[in-house]
Structure 1
């Protein structure tokens, strides 16, 4: 995972002082390259010790390694997208529509690249096998995460899988509680801290279902409630009315899941897609 994506994924476990460091770096990632640790601490209104703790919370030995990792990452992104883009910077009020579109598109490309390259393919294979053999597939998410769950539901339902998209928490908990044998329950939450979704997986797990978390936070409550974890990588802008970049990253995982399931019974899948297309697009 890139260092900027790691900062995004770890935001919820930072102390207030560490969150100030994270906020400054997210807005101006090059500040780490331009300032000493003392200067950065002053810019963030915190102490050098807090900056060190921030680095160690990311699994780094200290500020020197943070600078090295960030310099490498920013250099790679500049080579890929151009040095004038200021990729890591927040979308600013002064940005033109073209600049905003370029920043969002670049972040989405990076999110897909980091997500796919960082996937646990062992976990992905196990989830695909479970979905292929499932008697019932339950999916639940709230807000923007529900749109991602809806996409997977649409894909699986169209090829004849016994998939259910649950919209109401009480409905979701009831379905999880009454899981028959060979049920797979998938919970969607980028933050991994949505209480209703965590509860859904907890109940499903207690009922004997295989539980799967699709999240951007591998150490989150949702991840801990799951038997399998599929982790997305994304950096969000503060100007978001719902998940933007994180939604794209999770949809990449959804597509991988669907293709994996579809390939298990290739001829049946092709036939199902053709028949459902014929009935929805009559000549």
Structure 2
């Protein structure tokens, strides 16, 4: 299945009959046990008839309970399953902690399994060819841009992360073939960023987009799109999981450029890191960064 099995069940809940919903809720709450249960055992545990369990499986696109059970086992074997329910006001602290960790870990695993290495390879080629890198984003995405700017030593060339939209546009309007813009947008539909991308390319610069969306105006205005598909709970988690996935992409780009590129002197980079460690020890303990 192209999406998380548990996410699919959760999404279909409102459309299920009351008895089928009872099966769905039992499956979501006892996912591991279900992989070891018989049809009769599931029907008893959910308080419904065996035909109801079979109808539920059919509603989820399976020919029968056996096929559904095998798919559940396969899905769980791939990694930590996504938390199926939103955080409730009645949830205890340990439950909230577990839900957030499970949802984040499984969402990152989903991103990894749907990731396209070819898009990263094309992005790295553009980074290698550029003279200057500009990392732009709005809101939570601007934090990702700032993280990328901090990795300038790994990229081996000047990096900027302007936060002001006017300055971002002015940079794009005065760009040339030596500039590369890396634009971060979860939705891929941030209109000002699309305008900046179009302006940059009109002046001969190249554009890389990091986004969770596989379509949209920002992708259309980019040379390369790195898609970080996540299992978002957009009511609560939109700025969280997508940001973590994008930060991982920045780490991949920076690390690969440093290890494989021609513009980074690794010996000098290691020396800088050693000097930085020594410098930190000279700082006032109260102000030393972690």
Q: How does 1:160-199 map to 2 (within 5 A)?
A: 160-199=156-195
Using the size of structure 1 for normalisation, the TM-score is 0.71
Per-residue deviation, 1:3: 1.7
Per-residue deviation, 1:81: 6.7
Please point out which of 128, 152, 173 is paired with 2:124.
128
Please point out which of 257, 269, 274 is paired with 1:272.
269
Quick one: distance in 2 between partners of 1:98 and 1:27?
Answer: 27
Of structures 1 and 2, the larger Rg is shown by 2
Query: Contact 1:111–1:246 (CA<8 Å) still a contact in 2?
Result: no
Aligned residue pair count: 239
Cα-to-partner distance string for 1:191-243 (whole Å, 9 max, x where unaligned): 11111212111111111111111000011111111110100021233553761
Please point out which of 236, 243, 247 is paired with 2:243.
247
Is 1:233–2:229 an aligned residue pair?
yes
Q: Are residues 108 and 86 of structure 1, via their aligned partners in 2, closer, same or farther at CA, if it must alter by over 3 Å?
A: closer
Using the size of structure 2 for normalisation, the TM-score is 0.69
Query: Contact 2:82–2:102 (CA<8 Å) still a contact in 1?
Result: no
Match of 1:94 in 2: 90
SS of structure 2 residue aligned to 1:67? coil
Q: Are residues 219 and 159 of structure 1, via their aligned partners in 2, closer, same or farther at CA, if it must alter by over 3 Å?
A: closer
Query: Contact 1:140–1:188 (CA<8 Å) still a contact in 2?
Result: yes
Per-residue deviation, 1:154: 0.9
SS of structure 1 residue aligned to 2:151? helix
Quick one: distance in 1 between partners of 2:20 and 2:224?
Answer: 41
RMSD over aligned Cα atoms: 3.6
Quick one: distance in 2 between partners of 1:216 and 1:89?
Answer: 21
Per-residue deviation, 1:111: 2.4
Cα-to-partner distance string for 1:66-123 (whole Å, 9 max, x where unaligned): 63499877554545677xx872222222222222222221222222222223222122
Deviates more, 1:165-174 or 1:67-76: 67-76
Q: Are residues 178 and 277 of structure 1, via their aligned partners in 2, closer, same or farther at CA, if it must alter by over 3 Å?
A: farther
Quick one: distance in 1 between partners of 2:93 and 2:167?
Answer: 42
Quick one: distance in 2 between partners of 1:161 and 1:96?
Answer: 48
